[in-house]
Amino acid sequence: MRQVVLDTETTGLAPSEGHRIVEIGCTEILDGVITENKFHTYLNPERLVDPGAQAVHGLSDEFLHEQPLFVDVIDAFIEFIKDSQLIIHNAAFDVGFINYELKRLSQPWGSIERYCTVFDTLTLARSKHPGVDNSLDGLCRRYKVDTRLRIKHGALLDTQLLAQVYLLMTQ
C-alpha cells in the first residue's frame, strides 16, 4: 500500500480569510516502510504572511516572493499523491487549504479527495490517547521520536516526524 504523509505551512489560519499555502511537504510510506521518495516545494502566496504564522515557520515574505505559484506545481503535486492514502495530522486544516488552492485555479481540479483518500492521525491519536497532548510534538515525545532538528515548523521535516509517529502508533 502506498501512503503519503503530507503537511503544509500557510500564511495564516483560515483560507476563508484569504490565507494561502507557503510550503508543501510529502514523505512516502510504501508497504509500511518510509522511503526516500519525497515531494517538497515552497510557494509564493501572492500575499503577506501573518506575523504569527511567520513566527511558527520562519518563512519570510522576501523568500516566498521568489518561489513558484501553486499553479506552477499542481501537476507534479497531484502526480505525487495520486492513488495514495494521505496521512495528515489535523487533516481538516491541510485539506481545507489544498482544496481552497485547487478551487482558485482556472482548470476544474475538484477536491483533493478526487485523487486520493485521507487519513487523520490527530483523530487516531485522540482515540488512542484521550485527554492528553496529541500535537505532533506531544506524539513525538510519547513515541520517543527525535525532534532535535525541528527548530521551527517545516512541512517536509514535519512529514518525516509524522511518518515515524504514524508507524509507531499503528504497529
Residues designated catalytic? 153
Instruction: Cell numbers for 108, please give them.
Output: 476544474
Judged by phi (left if over 0) then psi (alpha if -120 to 50, else beta), residue 147 lies in alpha
Range 138-167 burial, b when 16+ CB lie within 10 A, else e: ebbebeebeeeebeebbbbbbbbbbbbbbb
Could you tell me how many residues make up the chain? 171
Instruction: Cell numbers for 153, please give them.
Output: 515548523
